[in-house]
A and B are shown apart, each in its own frame.
Chain A
Amino acid sequence: MSGIHLFVPMLHVRDAVGEHTRALRDLLVAEGVDCRIYIENPDPNTVHETRHYLEYEDDAIAGDVLVYQMATRSDMVAWLAGRPEPVVVNYHNITPSEYFAPWNNWIARHQALAVLELEDLAPTAALGIGVSTFDADELRRCGCPEVVVVPVANVRIPPMTPDPTTLATLRGPEGEGGPRWLSVGRLAPNKAHQDTIAALFIARATTSPDARLTIVGSPSEPAYARALRRYAAELGMHGAVTFVSGISDGALAAHYVAADVLVMLSEHEGFGVPLVEAMSHGLPVVAFAAGAVPEVVGDAGVLLEEKGPRHVAQELAALIDDPARRESLVVAGRARPAALGLDRAGSDLVAALLDVAGRAPGVSAVPGSDVPVRPAAPLSH
């Protein structure tokens, strides 16, 4: 029986691409489609649910469709480009290498090569799927002949219930503390967490002496993560900036619920899952309008065209001190995931892949081909 198989360089848990891949696998299996995840480098946490991509050569069946989850470079790409099966590029964006160059030359080189790989693979892809219009435009510029936009499939709708213990700890005694800023995202240079720390410094020196910031994210680039800690320390904010990583989904939900505002000053976002997670939890969003952020936030958050620390601090203070505006953003934010089509993203993605499978030779062997296929709907916003 032919199938639709997913290829990703590494499958991580609590990682945007990893969770999207696992969610897509589950959706396809639920549709009766044979689906396996193939990787290049094993992650100990997921090794039991993956196979090495070279093993696919023994598993291949006529009519298979191969879906590559692209966000970084991999030897898989050259191999996929040489395969006879239709290849779908599910593109999650490649962070430009100049963000990493001052911190880690190896990763910078990796990212530069990934761009070359995208340029090689995109023109031959049976379909390109961008998780945002921003990503889809890049796919088109790189020569992908057919592109659709389907957002990520792993955003929980409705949102996760907060972990009560974490929530109680975060909230502390009634009335304690000042405004609680939250920033969620890997500690990677394109996320520009330092700009949020600088804005907090200004806020504490001017409008909000008790403001605090929690940064939730794994130290994706250790040198950058270390510099962030040192920066906060040098600015005298030992106790005001807290770094958190490796927490459960429930604990993350508690952070969203306990905070007063989500601040995202990232300079390059292919989608921005924390934005929709925050909005789902009723947390107002203040974000720098870069990459896919404007299309994801829409009019449900505060979009900043510039992010000087004083300007950011003033915008945050103005929002926190204006309950009516906050409430209107909360209402708009809760409706935003549905407006983005996140509630149907999984089924749209499956439909798009089954459509490709339907065009593939040997399609009669795919059980999913018996399922009525509807075309993938582009994002409506």
Chain B
Amino acid sequence: MCAREVEVTAEDSGTPEEQGDNPRSGLSADERGLLEAFDRLRPQGSLGWHFDDTVRRLVEPPQFQGRPNGWAGLPADLWERGRGTKASERVLGDVVTTVAQDLSEYTDRAVDESYQRTEDALGELRRTVFDAIRFLAARVERLESSVDPLGMEAAEFDLPAMDASAWFDDAPTWAAARSDLPVLLGELADDGLLAALVASGTGVEGVDPRGPVVWAANAAFDVGNGKAGPATAIAEVIDYLRALPGASRGCVVLAGCVDRTDIAGKVDLIDEARRVVAPGGALVVLVTEQSAWDASVAPVVRDLLPGRPLHPETWQAVLEQRGLRGATWHRPTSGSVHAVVSEVGR
């Protein structure tokens, strides 16, 4: 395509999808959600747009439009038209013309030299900035590859489904302290936990990065056919939490995501959940028993997955260390999923 067509103006702002001719505008909400799930995997997000324009401005020296034409002097036919002008006025006119032309030429030279000096200085600055960006980009790539040489995502591994049935009866009690605010279920485990919370009359929203899980939940609750059900979203729990206002939820229940992420990811989840839960509300971590986890995942997953479940006692320590109160370990009556319940201080 021609360079003329990559010019980006302020009116063009936004990704191609965000512009006026949005190719997704005719799609249903679930189709858009499906495609947006991929958009979230773009590493640079909205940084992309305006990039061309910025680069063009950086790599191309600004075009010097040229100074205005110098003073051309008095109209050539002036003396023809002014035959009646006195000789003294004609001499004065000649002097004015000569001086003005000299001044004009001097100004032109000064403008040209000034522009050239500015260009020289800016050119050097541009080269330096680009060198720095290239250097940093190379360093970031090396750093990323040294921290995570395989670059595999947790979602690429086949992980066991969590059986949280032992907590269906207790789940509504976790939400009771701040029943004026909705409960957020971070990963749906199975529909049962979501159903138990909905049945208790609590406002519930369920978040899960796995499309089929969310779609199955929507189908189970007949969402979209005029029936009230839980609000659901296909999203990474940590991303969803980050987008929520502080103290806006009565309870956050984290399941699944806390098992598979590494320790830094676990702490991020706890910190964000603590910020989102209103004072007096509960933060609940559902954690798979380590022996059950090790027995249920394939060796490849066990070896390569960045994280594994923490012991409930460790969770108690982590929750206390991150500022939550009264972290209590609840053992299941059946199954291998434990609950660690804590409270956000008032």
Q: Mark A residues whose CB is within 8 Å of B.
A: 94, 96-98, 101-103, 105-106, 108-109, 112-113, 115-116, 118-119, 138, 141-142, 194-195, 197-198, 201-202, 205, 222-223, 226-227, 229-231, 233-236, 238, 306-310
On whether the beta carbons of A198 and B34 are closer than 8 Å, the reply is yes
Q: Are A233 and B156 closer than 8 Å at their CB atoms?
A: yes
| Chain B residues with CB under 8 A of A113 | 55, 59
Chain B residue contacts of A238, Cβ below 8 A: 156, 158
Q: Total interface residues on B, using CB and 8 Å?
A: 46
In the assembled complex, the Cα of A92 lies from the Cα of B279 at a distance in Å of 61
Q: How far is the CA of A242 from the CA of B276 in the complex (A)?
A: 39
B2 touches A119 (CB 8 A): yes
Complex Cα distance A239/B158, Å?
10
CB of A105 within 8 A of CB of B137, answer yes
| 7 pairs of A and B residues whose beta carbons are closest in the complex | A101-B48, A102-B48, A227-B41, A236-B212, A102-B42, A101-B51, A194-B38
The chain B residues found within 8 Å of chain A, CB to CB, are: 1-6, 15-16, 23-24, 26-28, 31, 34-35, 37-38, 41-49, 51-52, 55-56, 59-60, 137, 151, 153, 155-158, 209-213, 215
In the bound complex, CA of A113 to CA of B52 (Å)? 9
Residues of A within 8 A of B27 (CB): 308-310
Q: Across the two chains, which residue of chain A brings its CB closest to B6?
A: A115
Is the CB–CB distance between A115 and B1 below 8 Å? yes
Whether A231 lies near B51 (C-beta < 8 A) is no
Besides A195-B35, A201-B211, A235-B210, 19 new A-B residue pairs in contact (Cβ under 8 A), listed by A number: A98-B16, A98-B51, A101-B47, A108-B48, A108-B55, A112-B52, A118-B3, A138-B1, A198-B31, A222-B151, A226-B151, A227-B38, A227-B42, A231-B38, A233-B157, A236-B212, A308-B26, A309-B35, A310-B27
Q: In the bound complex, how far is the Cα of B46 from the Cα of A226, in angstroms?
A: 19
Chain B residues contacting A306 (CB-CB under 8 Å) are 23, 26
Q: Is the CB of A105 within 8 A of B44?
A: yes
What residues on A are CB-neighbors of B16 within 8 Å? 98
Interchain CA distance A225-B266 in the complex, whole Å: 27
Contact B51 A105 (CB under 8 A): yes
A84 to B: closest C-beta gap in Å: 26
A227-B41, A234-B155 known; A108-B2 Cβ under 8 A: no
A residues within 8 A CB of B210? 234-236
* A-B pairs under 8 A by CB, number: 134
Q: How far is A314 from B60 in the complex, measured between Cα atoms in Å?
A: 47
In the assembled complex, which residues on chain A have CB atoms less than 8 Å from the CB atom of B34?
198, 201-202, 235, 309
Shortest beta-carbon distance, B142 to chain A, in Å? 14
Given contacts A115-B3, A308-B27, A310-B28, contact A101 B35 (CB under 8 A): no
Interface centre among A101, A138, A195 (most CB of B within 10 A): A101
- CB pair A101–B52 under 8 Å, yes or no, is yes
Chain A residues within 8 Å of B151, by CB: 222, 226
Task: Give A194 to B38 CA distance when docked, in angstroms.
Answer: 7
Chain A facing B: main interface SS: helix
Contact assessment for B153 and A101 in the assembled complex, using a CB-CB cutoff below 8 Å:
no
A235 touches B49 (CB 8 A): no
Q: Decide: B31 and A310 in contact? CB cutoff 8 A.
A: yes
A223/B52 contact (C-beta < 8 A), A113-B59, A229-B156, A308-B27 known: no
A234-B210, A308-B31, A309-B35 known; A223-B26 Cβ under 8 A: no
Q: Is the CB of B211 within 8 A of A234?
A: yes
Q: Which residues of A contact B211 (CB under 8 A)?
A: 201, 234-236
Q: Are B23 and A96 in contact (CB under 8 A)?
A: no
In contact, A234 and B2 (Cβ under 8 angstroms):
no
Return chain B residues, CB-CB under 8 Å to A119: 2-3
A230: B residues at CB distance < 8 A: 41, 153, 155-156
Please state if A231 and B37 are interface contacts (CB–CB under 8 Å): yes
B23: chain A residues at CB < 8 Å are: 306-307
Q: Are B28 and A112 in contact (CB under 8 A)?
A: no
Instruction: Give the residue name and chain of the B residue nearest to A93 (CB).
Output: B1
- From residue A103, how far is it (CB to closest CB) to chain B in Å? 6
**What residue of chain B has the Cβ atom nearest to residue A231's Cβ?**
B38
Q: Would you call A96 and B41 a contact (CB within 8 A)?
A: no
Residue of A nearest to B151 (CB): A226
Contact A109 B55 (CB under 8 A): yes
Smallest CB–CB gap between B130 and chain A, Å?
Answer: 9
A233: contacting residue among B52, B59, B155, CB under 8 A: B155
B55 lies within 8 A of A112 (CB) = yes
Q: Which residues of B contact A222 (CB under 8 A)?
A: 151
CB of B35 within 8 A of CB of A198, answer yes
A118: chain B residues within 8 A (beta carbon): 2-3
Q: How far is the CA of A310 from the CA of B209 in the complex (A)?
A: 20
Inter-subunit contact A103/B43 (CB<8 Å)? yes
B52 touches A108 (CB 8 A): yes
A112 to B60, CA, bound (A): 11
C-alpha spacing A229/B47, complex, angstroms: 23
| Docked pose: A10 CA to B43 CA in angstroms | 27
Alpha-carbon gap, A195 to B24, bound state (A) = 12
With a CB–CB cut-off of 8 A, which chain A residues contact B3?
Answer: 115-116, 118-119, 142
Contacts A195-B35, A236-B212 given; does A115 touch B2 at CB 8 Å:
yes
Measured CB to CB, the closest approach of chain A to B47, in angstroms, equals 7
Max chain A C-beta neighbours (<10 A), residue from B51, B59, B213: B51
Contacts of A142 in B (CB 8 A): 2-3
Minimum distance in angstroms from A123 CB to a CB of chain B: 11
Contacts of A141 in B (CB 8 A): 1-2, 4-5
Query: Who on chain B is nearest to A309 by CB?
Result: B31
How far is it, in angstroms, between the C-alpha of A226 and the C-alpha of B5 when the chains are bound?
30
Per the bound structure, the CA–CA distance linking A138 and B2 in Å amounts to 7
User: Are B47 and A102 closer than 8 Å at their CB atoms?
Assistant: yes
A-B contact pairs, 12 of them (CB 8 A): A97-B51, A102-B48, A103-B42, A112-B51, A112-B55, A141-B4, A195-B35, A233-B157, A234-B37, A236-B213, A309-B34, A310-B28
